[in-house]
Amino acid sequence: MSSQKFDTHSHQERRGHFETLRSLMDYLWVEGRRDLKIRVVVAFSLLVMAEVASVYTPYLMKFIVDDLTGDVNPIVVMPIGLIIAFGVARVLTQSFSELRDAVFAKVGQHAIRQVALNTFRHLHRLSLRFHLDRQTGGLSRVIERGTKGIDFLLRFMLFNIVPTILKIIFVCGILLVEYGWLMSVITLVTLCGYIYFTLAVTEWRLKFRRMMNEKDSEANTKAIDSLLNFETVKYFGNEEHEARRFDRALASYETAAVKSNTTLAYLNIGQGLIISIGLVAVLILSAKGVVDGEYTVGDFVAIHGFLMLLMQPLNFLGFVYREIKQSLVDMEKMFELLTVSREIDDAPNAVPLVSGGGEIEFHDVDFGYEGDRQILHGVSFKVPSGKTTAIVGPSGAGKSTISRILFRFYDVDRGKVTIDGQAIDEVTQDSLRAAIGIVPQDTVLFNDTIRYNIGYGRPGAGEAEIETAARLASIDGFIEKLPDGYNAMVGERGLKLSGGEKQRVAIARAILKQPRILLFDEATSALDSHTEKEIQASLAEVSKDRTTLIIAHRLSTVVEADEIIVLENGRIEERGRHHDLLAQGGKYATMWARQQEAANYQEKLEQIRE
């Protein structure tokens, strides 16, 4: 039973390697790239010529030795021509090999670039659900090892394995024709024994290498996660706790690495033993032929030369095979990412979102992240073109879920969402997201300049447009006081800026995008009351003639909204304007009273401190 399981696993693994190689071939023999195809053909031709020149050198050495050990006086008559020919053959062998590498370099690097680029693009097309579950450190290592695996595979499989196979064919053929079947069979059996032993032991060792990779990814993920959350680690004084977690992963990697290196020694000893037995047997047979007068001394030297041509790459082949196996495993992981399905995809007949005023409508929407966890229940509302609607409610009510559905990070379970009458699942995602500008609750900035982060809203925007967006977001004064101004670096995830400054950069970025719909998801949650009032005036100007959806917990930010929707437990409990909702004395009025009481208490504390 266990044997059957092992065979099935081996078959699946071989099939996985085959599928990986087939996927790679699509990047080497590229449709529509005649220049790359020509390079592949030329490189293979040079490879064959290099091996022919290499195999011919023992023949030349045979003739040289026979001339020098013949009846002629070597001092009087030296085989100068043969010696020069021997040197030329060696030069040609190296020259053809170097030219082969030079011609193929563009093909290989183009393949690596395209695989990495396609993987990167595919990751950005995957659903939010996939990225919420991802481990960034482990994911980056998969891509890094995958591209390195392709580079290694191209360099060593094409230019070590294939040449070695050609050498085996040439040498065994020459030995069979020139020196009889026995010598050819001994050489072939030695090579087969070597290859079988290498395959068997390497398969056994592979589990240790895989374990090393897993622990390496785990350690890297823990390190990156800890450093990204540097402030949190400091807040709780958990530096040693993080070091212990990292060390546990490193210790597991150390154990796996020791086993891998120990078993490598066993493999090398076995390989050396097999090669030596075969070499000794062939040399004894050829020496007997010289003694019996069947061969010349030159034949003995030539046979030794042929065997050395095989043994040199075979000594290296053990390492190459192990690394190729690992490269295939690493590449499989990366190609597996390309097979992850896009949970949210454009419909086959998807069309661009038509231009319009940006009217939003939710029609009886049900939604849940998991099958047994319903978030929204029959939510229906309309945001007319150019109007402002606010959605408020306690944490976990489903407010931010509405913004994710609007961006179509998720599809609804039931109901329909439309913009200007078009269902969002019937339009292209690019055109949908181009129409919406968002300031999210958790603003994360790129580790670049303030100019870059504001300009990210619309790459290619001019300096004046970036500065106008900064002014409307009330961050221009802060930027101008910085020594580097708009060229100031914001640090990893914007850590050099305060929460309010990051939020205002995000607002400027959304303004620069010039969308027909603006979505503010707790946009002023990190701002003090003074800054909040400044930005409210700016937002009123920016939101003019644009459809605006405000998701807020702080009710003071939504008092001017055309309609306020109170959401609780995924259901709409109340709706209306600010004063109407206060007059109703319901949930909104209770929330308002509670927040006003907290604000008054905070104001008194500030007065006492002053």
Residues 390 and 493 in one domain: no
Please write the tens of the pLDDT for every residue from 157-213.
Answer: 777 777 878 888 888 888 787 787 888 888 888 888 888 888 788 778 777 777 787
Give the residue from 339, 365, 393 where a domain finishes: 339
- Number of domain units in the chain: 3
Domain containing 448 — which CATH number?
Answer: 3.40.50.300
User: C-alpha 184: how far from its chain's center?
Assistant: 48
User: What pLDDT score does 1 carry?
Assistant: 38
User: What pLDDT score does 5 carry?
Assistant: 38
CA–CA dist 400, 570 (Å, integer): 11
User: What pLDDT score does 175 carry?
Assistant: 79
Residue 83: inside a domain, yes or no?
yes
- Above 70 in pLDDT, residue 592? yes
Give the residue from 339, 370, 401 where a domain finishes: 339
Give the residue from 280, 306, 339 where a domain finishes: 339
- Binned at pLDDT 50, 70 and 90, residue 134 comes out as low
More confident residue, 532 or 512: 512
Residues 166 and 294 in one domain: yes
Helix (H), strand (E), coil (C) string for 402-449? HHHHHCCCCCCCEEEEEECCEEHHHECHHHHHHCEEEECCCCCCCCCE
Helix (H, G, I), strand (E, B) or coil at 573: strand
Residues 222 and 121 in one domain: yes
Residues 187 and 242 in one domain: yes
- Above 70 in pLDDT, residue 403? yes
- Above 80 in pLDDT, residue 241? yes
Please write the tens of the pLDDT for every residue from 518-528.
Answer: 888 876 665 66
- What would the mean pLDDT of 570-577 be, rounded to a whole number? 90
Residues 544 and 600 in one domain: yes
User: C-alpha 318: how far from its chain's center?
Assistant: 29
Residue 348: inside a domain, yes or no?
no
Residues 534 and 508 in one domain: no
- Above 90 in pLDDT, residue 362? yes
Highest mean pLDDT among 128-142, 222-236, 415-429 belongs to 415-429
Residue 165: inside a domain, yes or no?
yes
Residue 469: inside a domain, yes or no?
yes
CA–CA dist 25, 577 (Å, integer): 63
Domain containing 311 — which CATH number?
Answer: 1.20.1560.10
- Above 60 in pLDDT, residue 349? yes
- What would the mean pLDDT of 78-91 be, rounded to a whole number? 77
- Beta-strand relationship, 571-576 and 563-568: antiparallel
Q: Closest Cα to residue 194, out of 317, 68, 45?
A: 317
User: What pLDDT score does 382 carry?
Assistant: 92
- Binned at pLDDT 50, 70 and 90, residue 8 comes out as very low
Residue 2: inside a domain, yes or no?
no
Residue 452: inside a domain, yes or no?
yes
- Above 70 in pLDDT, residue 531? no
- What would the mean pLDDT of 570-590 be, rounded to a whole number? 90
User: What pLDDT score does 20 carry?
Assistant: 67
Contact in structure between 563 and 360 (CB atoms under 8 Å): no
DSSP 61-109: HHHHHHHHTSSS-TTTS--HHHHHHHHHHHHHHHHHHHHHHHHHHHHHH
Handedness of CA 191, 194, 200, 205 (dihedral sign): negative
User: What pLDDT score does 493 carry?
Assistant: 67
Q: In the chain, pLDDT over 90 holds for what percent of residues? A: 5
CA–CA dist 178, 186 (Å, integer): 15
Residue 93: inside a domain, yes or no?
yes
Residues 588 and 456 in one domain: no
Helix (H, G, I), strand (E, B) or coil at 3: helix
CA–CA dist 296, 301 (Å, integer): 9
Residues 53 and 118 in one domain: yes
Highest mean pLDDT among 22-36, 294-308, 309-323, 595-609 belongs to 294-308
Residues 133 and 216 in one domain: yes
User: What pLDDT score does 76 carry?
Assistant: 45
- Give the distance between the most distant pair of CA atoms in the chain: 124
Q: In the chain, pLDDT over 70 holds for what percent of residues? A: 84
| Residues spanned by the domain of 475 | 443-514
Q: Closest Cα to residue 517, out of 377, 365, 344, 389?
A: 389
Residues 64 and 134 in one domain: yes
Lowest mean pLDDT among 398-407, 436-445, 503-512, 571-580: 436-445
| Residues in the chain, total | 610
- Above 60 in pLDDT, residue 136? no
Does this model's pTM top 0.85? My answer is no
Residue 4: inside a domain, yes or no?
no
- Above 90 in pLDDT, residue 269? no
- What would the mean pLDDT of 234-255 be, rounded to a whole number? 82
- Binned at pLDDT 50, 70 and 90, residue 446 comes out as confident
Lowest mean pLDDT among 102-116, 398-412, 443-457: 102-116
CA–CA dist 319, 324 (Å, integer): 9
- Binned at pLDDT 50, 70 and 90, residue 577 comes out as very high
- Fill in the DSSP letter of residue 416: E
Contact in structure between 139 and 122 (CB atoms under 8 Å): no
- Binned at pLDDT 50, 70 and 90, residue 15 comes out as very low
User: What pLDDT score does 381 carry?
Assistant: 92
Beta bridge partner(s), residue 498: none
Residues 407 and 509 in one domain: no
Lowest mean pLDDT among 245-259, 272-286, 592-606: 592-606
Residues 507 and 550 in one domain: no
